[in-house]
Amino acid sequence: MTPYNIVDLGAVPGGRVDCSAVFAAIGARIRGQGGGVIVVPPGEFLVGPMKLGDNTRLHLEKGAVLRFIDDPELYGPVETRWEGLICHAMHPLIFVRNARNVILEGEGRIDGNGASWWNVHRAEKSVGQRGPRTHIEKRLAELNHYTGLEPSGGGGREAQFLRPPLVQFLSCESVRIEGLSFIDSPFWTIHPVFCKDVVIRDISIKNPADAPNTDGIDVDSCEEVKISGVKIDVGDDCIALKSGSGEQGLHEGKGTRNVMISDCTFLSGHGGVVIGSETAGGVENIDVRNCTFLGSDRGIRIKSRRGRGGSIQNLSFGNLLMEGVLAPLTINMYYNCGSHPDEAGSLFSAEDQAVTKLTPQARAIVVFNLTATKCRASAGFVVGLPEAPIEGLRLENWQVSLAEEGAVPVNRVEMYQGLEEVRDRGIRVEYAQVALFKVKIEHCGGPAVVAGKGARVSLA
């Protein structure tokens, strides 16, 4: 494929001159020729929204930095999926749609320049903004026929300030991301949606721990995905596997399946490897191996609730090393982030509710060869629904110890609503069938397993 050096075609390093036109011109050449390579040499280059097409390779040499302009006016509406719903949102910083054979690679850095985006979201949240106010938000609300009742995950759908991800692949096949570092994303960092054959390896992602909704990698209704050798340190979930929300996601029926995650390191984050909370299309056939979790809030986290739907099944997590997490494993069907207050009575009732097509189901999950030290809240949280208990959870060869200093209240282990609080730091089990083999819990100051309503626990 023909290489195009952006400096040779007019890009100016130094981070002060907008180089967007150069990237657009190279993109047009590549589309005309059926493929090509965009070469970014050492230096900092300022850019706006970027589109890539078929058979395109974006190569950042060592010392190269792409820094994105933080002006929301540049990122006009595109139809995409945002927090589980098809809608119009702001144009991703790097957007690849309906393309094949696209590669992002090299030793350079892609900088989302996210601080101003985070500040807008924080300001809206601080005043409890529940509807669009700015002309950008109103434009999105009009395009989306926004009613205020749409499912939300907590990212700000109420205000319609639908921040862009740093990199989004939408309906693509044969995607490769390798070697690069990504920092300061306005929203989710890397977001493949409706994609097949995705490989992400040997990259790093870093967003501030307090940067809102800055997930690392969100695999969203994708198949045949391999993630290996990544290091993630972010302000929300490190890797999240999702498949659409509510009625719309159920109708689309596009699950996330056949995902391998291996040899990764997770630092700050609400969870290391997370499933949900958008689960309507189902999440299945997931294999996580040989990963390290250092201070992530939860190690393995599975979260959904009534109204989200979907089958979560055939999950395997093994050879995991954790230190300083809140808990090594949480499975929570009472996850409440983004729910509407008027739904609370039915969503978070501790009593049986009618089983519907939007009742999430979790089954056939194994977590083995796990060592976790200095767990700050508890040894685990496993809570299903009275009408849909968790089935077939197997915990094998666990060595877990609770923190003797720096512990936090047990209720920090998960965000849930409608459930009674407990004081014991062992593995909480309610409405779940769990088999434990060679599981050792130390320094919990009480029972290793806290069996509540609907718990079916076998020990060996």
Return the active site residues: 236, 270
Bridge partner residues of 102 (DSSP)? 56, 175
Beta carbons within 10 angstroms of residue 424's beta carbon: 16
> DSSP labels for 372-391?
EEEESS-SEEEE-BTTB-EE
- Spatial neighbors of 127 by CB under 8 A, at least 6 apart, are none
> DSSP labels for 15-36?
S-SB-HHHHHHHHHHHHHHT-E
Rounded distance between C-alpha atoms, residue 378 and residue 423, angstroms: 10
274 — phi, psi (to 5°)?
-125, 140
CB 106 within 8 A of CB 177: no
- CA torsion angle for 338, 358, 271, 457 (degrees, to 10)? 130
Nearest to 90 by CA among 126, 144, 149: 144
- Spatial neighbors of 356 by CB under 8 A, at least 6 apart, are none
Rounded distance between C-alpha atoms, residue 153 and residue 338, angstroms: 4
